[in-house]
């Protein structure tokens, strides 16, 4: 199987308890991406997405645009790797 772009993003700010993960799930339906979004014990939200590099980037940018009022900081890291996800879920 061919490698896909995989991106891990950590969002901090007022990102838990505000429908952040549900919004990310809805946004994911607009893009050809797979992965998950989950709350982290330290109060951040973790997003992992894979697919074509342009599609993943546009997806993350759309999440940031929709939830900008809640995000104080986002940390992004991407790399190529074999696909590991099917569909997009909330964990």
d(CA 60, CA 5): 13
Is position 21 annotated as part of the catalytic site?
yes
83 neighbors 20 (Cβ within 8 angstroms): no
User: Which member of 21, 72, 76, 91 is catalytic?
Assistant: 21
Strand order in the sheet with 34-39: 71-82, 3-13, 45-51, 34-39, 88-90
Is position 91 annotated as part of the catalytic site?
no
Which residues are annotated as catalytic? 21, 39
């Amino acid at each position: 199987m061919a490698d896909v772009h995989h991106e891990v993003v950590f969002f901090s700010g007022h990102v838990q308890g505000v429908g952040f993960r549900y919004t990310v799930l809805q946004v994911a339906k607009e893009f050809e991406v797979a992965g998950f979004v989950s709350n982290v014990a330290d109060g951040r939200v973790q997003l992992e997405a894979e697919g074509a590099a342009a599609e993943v980037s546009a997806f993350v940018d759309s999440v940031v645009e929709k939830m900008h009022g809640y995000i104080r900081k986002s940390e992004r890291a991407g790399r190529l790797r074999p696909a590991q996800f099917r569909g997009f879920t909330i964990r």
